[in-house]
Amino acid sequence: MVIHPLHTDIPRPERFTYPFAYEPHPLCQLAAKEVQQYIATHEEIKADADTGKMFGVLVVEATPDSSRARGESYDFLAAYSGLLAGRNDWDYFVPPVYDAQQPDGYFKTKEREISRLSKDSQDTREMSQELQLWLFHQYQLLNARGEVKDLVDIWQSYYNKEKLRRKFPLPPGGTGDCCAPKLLQYAYQRGLKPVCMAEFWWGPSTKTELRQHLNYYPACRGKCKPILTWMLQGLDVDPDPELLGFRRMDIPVVYEDEWLLVVNKPSGMLSTRGRIEQYSVESVMQERYPGSIIAHRLDMGTSGLLIVAKTPEVYRPLQEQFIKHQVRKKYIALLEAADDSGFSRTVRKSPCKSAAIKGTISLPLRPDPMNRPRQVVDMEHGKRAVTDYEFISPNIVALYPQTGRTHQLRIHCAHPDGLGRPIVGDELYGTKGERLMLHATEIWFTHPVTQESMHLVSPPPFLK
């Protein structure tokens, strides 16, 4: 049975879920618990899910011939991304948008034919490309208005500017096989009315997927943003929170002279203007000191010390110090407690219980083009990223970055080959919380005008 009754009197949300940034609605949390119980009690499914898998739920208005006849007002659908235990025909979950796994179907037949050819031949490459394009055309996706477009049309309509179309000419492989498109397609095909949706991760964090067991995550942007932009048309959807603007915050000054200042950036504030949001430390400083420039950046969730040059003439020698790695920075992070999910997690241990744990993490990083702003460890193509660390207590660690890659400290803490423990409040690589418990607590640099050795300190606000 694919349509499952949901036994609850929880009121429905006002609008449907914006899938790229959301708090899971209680209806989705209830449905997700039922799916999790199902996974846990079906050995073949659990064995595959235990290696790491994304699952999703879609709550819909109850149909007259299902729950409503028993006095319930909701049903729910469940889905998984890709294949589950090598199959896509599990009775409990919605089917794929298009089933390319049929052994005697056109796709598999043609795939076997191509595999018999020389792998390096021009004919093989052309046939593979033609087969992939054929497959994309089979994904006939509905939206809430009942309109239909295939995957290629959706993709090219979304990337309709010539420059973008050259960069993203066709969808990547696997597009259309994530949870959200499967769930919405099944609901639309059967006239079901979507109420809310959520996706959760089952299993351990892997070396490529830094996600935590049973945590909820937004839909991926690389594959799903063009599709869901189409499929959600006709639904009343929650607004994109990025378009709502950020609340105004105080920016305490730790040090100031006539050439520069060092401020204490609050968590939840951008260092520099974003693609949509203009409000940032940069915009505030430039209002106060026209011509000022932020000398470096901190992630929006990270708080702490940030240097601001009041003029371009002061900025340039500061930048040179950063380029030559002459600026030293110390961060304090509060880490999640030891994993109690039942899945093992690599944790670096001290050889002596009474000694502080020290070491160096070297894991090269690159952006994940399918799921920005996430970064991934890539030993072959990633850029060098090195962090020294020292445990202050079992859950508090001092971090000294030798390089300044995006999300470097967050990944080096969360990755199984790093500390194996995400920073508390890290919604990308750990568990969402009140805030990201990461603070730039000390900074050392040479004053670009006076040549004085500068050392500024800001205690972590979350350890007071």
Q: Which residues are catalytic?
A: 299
Side-chain half-sphere CA neighbours of 337 within 13 A:
2
Cα separation, 373 vs 406, in Å, equals 9
Q: Which of 429, 32, 50 is nearest to 198 (CA)?
A: 32
Tally Cβ neighbours within 10 Å of residue 239. Answer: 10
Tell me how far apart the 2 most distant CA atoms of the chain are, in Å.
Answer: 80
Cα separation, 430 vs 422, in Å, equals 5
Task: Look at strands 53-61 and 74-80 and give their pairing.
Answer: antiparallel
CA distances from 250 to 269, 283, 309 (A): 10, 13, 19
Cα separation, 210 vs 416, in Å, equals 9
* Residues ≥6 apart with Cβ < 8 Å to 327: 296, 321, 443, 444, 445
Q: What SS3 state is found at 376? A: strand
Cα separation, 457 vs 79, in Å, equals 49
Residue 20 backbone dihedrals phi, psi, to 5 degrees: -100, 0
DSSP code per residue over 212-224: -TT-B-PPPHHHH
Q: Which of 448, 205, 194 is nearest to 339 (CA)?
A: 205
Task: Provide the angle, in degrees to the nearest 10, between the axes of the packed helices 122-138 and 151-158.
Answer: 90
